[in-house]
C-alpha cells in the first residue's frame, strides 16, 4: 500500500518556469550579520547552509538594503554595486546546497530608519510617527520625483547584482511599514502627483520597481514580493486595496506573493492580530481569497506551529506555500522532519521576562531569535530553552545604549 505524498513535498513550478523542490519557505528575518562595510559575513554562509541542509525548499534572506544611506539597522547587508561580489557568491552557494532556492529580499526602509542612523529619512510624504516610536525615528522628508526614480533603479541594479552572484531569485519587501509599504498606504502617502492619490497611483512605485527588476534580470529569473494584507490601522491600506495591488502584479507576471500584515505601529506580523484564533496561521482568510483570485502562487507566513496545520492549509485552501521563520531558528532541520511525515510541533512559544517594559525595551521577541541565529552562524546548535534573562543580559552588557535601538523584521 502506497503512502500518500504530503502536499508539502510537492514541487512548485513558478510562472517564470523555475521549480521549487517543495512547498516550505524560510521567510525573511533580519539576521544583523553584515560586516562594517555592509557585506555578507561567514556567519551568514553557515546559517544559510544549515537551513538548506535542513530540507527547506526556498530560503528568503533578511533585509538587504539597496542604499547604504538608508539602513534599517547598523549591520544590514547592502547591495549597491559589485564590491561584495565574492562574499555574495559564497552566500548564494551556501543557500543552494541540497537543491534549495535562495532569494534575496531587497528593501529600502524609508521612514523606518532609526534616528541614530538617519538624521533625515525619506518617505513618500513627511508624515511623522504619532506613537511612542516618534522618539526613535525622525520625521521623514518627502521624496522628489527624481529621487523616486533613483530608488527604483537601485532595486533593479541590486537584483542584477545578486543574480550575477548566483542567487536564484529576489523578493521585493513591500510589507511591514518599509518604503514600498509606505507608498501603498494612505496613512503615509499623502502625495497628489502620479505616485499618490488613489490605489492606482499609490501602487505605481511598486509596479515600476517590479518592471525595472524584470528588465534587469529577464523573464526566467524568479521575482516575488512580500506584501501586507492590511495595515491593521484605521484609514490605512485595506484588504480590497491590497488585492488590487496583487491583481496588478499578477497581470505583470510576478512569480510568488507572500502575505503578511501590519507595521511597527500595528505589529500584526508579530502575532498581536491577523488570525482568527490561537493555533491558526495569521492572515489565512485573506491569503486564501487572494490565491483564488489570481494565478500567481501565494505563500502564507506566520503562526504555523504543527505539521498538521501546514498540511491542512495546503490541502484545504488555494495557498501554495507555507512560510516558517522562528520555528526554523530553533530547529533548522524542521522542514525535513515535516516532509518525512512526522507529527511535528514547533517548540516556539511566547517569550517574556515577566516585565512588559523590559520585554519591550530589549525587543525580546526579536533579540532572542537573533541570538539563536548567531549560534547557528557560529556553527553551533540553537538553544530552544535558553533563559530569556541570558538574552537580556547579553543585550544590556554587550551593546549598551545600542540595545535600546529599534530592530526590524
Q: What three-state secondary structure class fits 136?
A: coil
From 8-17, 70-79, 280-289, 310-319, the region with the lowest mean pLDDT? 280-289
List b or e across 314-336, with b for residues whose CB sees 16 or more CB atoms inside 10 angstroms.
beebebbbbbbbbbbbbbbebbb
Q: What CA–CA distance (Å, rounded) separates 396 from 382?
A: 21
Confidence label for 394 from pLDDT (cuts 50, 70 and 90): confident
Domain annotation covers residue 384: no
Helical residues (DSSP H) of 106-238, grouped into ranges: 145-165, 179-184, 199-202, 204-217
Evaluate whether residue 353 is within a structural domain.
no
Residue 67 included in any domain: yes
Percent of the chain scoring above 70 in pLDDT: 90
- Asked if residue 335 lies in contact with residue 56, where contact means CB atoms within 8 angstroms, the answer is yes
Dihedral Cα 317, 321, 326, 329, nearest 10 deg = 150
Domain ranges, residue 98: 9-346
Give the pLDDT of residue 275.
Answer: 46
Identify whether the C-beta of residue 388 lies closer than 8 Å to the C-beta of residue 364.
yes
Query: How much is the pLDDT for 397?
Result: 67
Q: Considering the chain, what is the average pLDDT of its residues?
A: 91
pLDDT exceeds cutoff 50 at 235: yes
User: Does the pLDDT of residue 402 top 70, yes or no?
Assistant: no
Cell reading at 242: 491590497
Q: Average pLDDT for residues 317-332, to the nearest whole number?
A: 97
Examine residue 98 and state whether it is found in any structural domain, yes or no: yes
| CATH number of 87's domain | 3.20.20.70
Helix (H) or strand (E) holding 298: strand 298-301
Residue 169's nearest CA partner among 20, 296, 54 is 20
Question: What confidence tens digit (pLDDT) does each residue in 48-81 have?
Answer: 999 999 999 999 999 999 999 999 998 999 999 9
- Grid cell, residue 196, equals 499618490
Contacts of 221 (CB under 8 A, 6+ apart): 16, 18, 163, 168, 169, 170
DSSP state of 116: T
Residue 29 placed within a domain? yes
Domain contains 152 = yes
Residue 272 lies in a domain: yes
Indicate the angle between helix axes 284-293 and 239-252, nearest 10 degrees: 40
Instruction: Report the distance separating Cα 67 and Cα 77, nearest Å.
Output: 10
Q: Kindly report, residue by residue over 278-291, the tens digit of the pLDDT.
A: 456 889 999 999 99
Q: Report the distance separating Cα 379 and Cα 85, nearest Å.
A: 23
- 124-163: pLDDT as tens digits: 999 998 766 678 899 999 999 999 999 999 999 999 999 9
How many domains is the chain partitioned into structurally? 1
Domain-embedded: residue 373: no
Q: What is the pLDDT of residue 81?
A: 97
DSSP letter assigned to residue 345: B
Give the pLDDT band (50/70/90) at residue 328: very high
**Mean pLDDT over residues 258-263, rounded?**
80
pLDDT classification of 216: cutoffs 50, 70, 90: very high
Q: Is the pLDDT of residue 407 over 90?
A: no
The position carrying cell 533548522 is 332
pLDDT at 393: 84
Task: Work out the angle between the directed axes of helices 364-377 and 42-53 (0-180°, nearest 10).
Answer: 90
Amino acid at each position: 500500500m502506497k503512502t500518500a505524498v504530503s502536499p508539502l513535498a510537492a514541487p512548485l513550478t513558478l510562472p517564470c518556469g523555475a521549480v521549487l523542490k517543495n512547498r516550505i519557505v524560510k521567510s525573511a528575518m533580519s539576521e544583523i550579520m553584515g560586516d562594517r562595510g555592509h557585506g555578507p559575513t561567514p556567519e551568514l554562509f553557515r546559517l544559510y547552509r544549515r537551513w538548506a541542509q535542513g530540507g527547506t525548499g526556498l530560503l528568503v534572506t533578511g533585509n538587504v538594503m539597496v542604499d547604504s544611506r538608508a539602513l534599517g539597522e547598523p549591520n544590514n547587508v547592502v547591495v549597491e554595486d559589485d564590491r561584495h561580489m565574492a562574499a555574495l557568491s559564497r552566500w548564494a552557494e551556501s543557500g543552494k546546497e541540497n537543491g534549495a532556492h535562495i532569494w534575496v529580499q531587497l528593501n529600502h526602509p524609508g521612514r523606518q530608519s532609526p534616528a541614530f542612523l538617519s538624521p533625515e529619512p525619506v518617505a513618500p510624504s513627511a508624515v511623522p510617527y504619532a506613537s511612542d516610536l516618534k522618539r526613535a525615528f525622525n520625521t521623514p522628508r518627502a521624496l522628489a520625483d527624481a529621487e523616486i526614480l533613483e530608488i527604483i533603479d537601485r532595486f533593479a541594479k541590486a537584483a542584477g547584482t545578486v543574480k550575477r552572484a548566483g542567487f536564484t531569485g529576489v523578493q521585493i519587501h513591500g510589507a511591514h511599514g518599509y518604503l514600498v509599504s509606505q507608498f501603498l498606504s494612505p496613512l503615509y502617502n499623502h502625495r497628489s502627483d502620479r505616485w499618490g492619490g488613489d490605489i492606482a497611483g499609490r501602487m505605481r512605485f511598486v509596479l515600476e520597481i517590479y518592471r525595472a527588476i524584470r528588465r534587469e534580470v529577464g523573464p526566467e529569473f524568479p521575482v516575488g514580493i512580500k506584501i501586507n494584507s492590511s495595515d491593521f490601522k484605521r484609514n490605512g491600506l485595506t484588504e480590497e486595496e491590497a488585492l488590487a495591488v496583487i491583481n496588478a502584479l499578477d497581470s505583470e507576471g510576478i512569480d510568488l506573493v507572500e502575505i503578511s500584515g501590519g507595521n511597527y505601529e500595528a505589529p500584526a506580523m508579530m502575532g498581536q492580530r491577523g488570525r482568527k484564533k490561537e493555533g491558526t496561521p495569521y492572515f489565512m482568510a485573506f491569503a486564501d481569497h487572494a490565491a483564488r483570485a489570481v494565478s500567481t502562487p501565494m505563500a502564507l507566513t506566520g503562526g504555523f506551529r504543527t505539521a498538521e496545520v501546514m498540511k491542512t492549509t495546503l490541502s484545504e485552501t488555494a495557498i501554495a506555500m507555507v512560510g516558517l521563520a522562528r520555528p526554523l531558528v530553533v530547529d533548522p532541520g524542521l522542514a525535513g522532519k515535516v516532509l518525512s511525515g512526522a507529527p511535528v510541533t514547533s517548540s516556539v512559544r511566547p517569550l517574556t521576562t515577566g516585565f512588559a517594559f523590559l520585554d519591550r525595551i530589549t525587543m525580546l521577541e526579536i533579540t532572542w531569535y537573533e541570538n539563536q541565529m548567531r549560534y547557528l552562524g557560529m556553527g553551533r546548535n540553537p538553544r530552544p530553552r535558553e533563559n530569556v534573562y541570558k538574552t537580556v543580559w547579553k543585550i544590556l552588557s554587550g551593546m549598551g545604549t545600542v540595545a535600546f535601538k529599534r530592530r526590524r523584521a
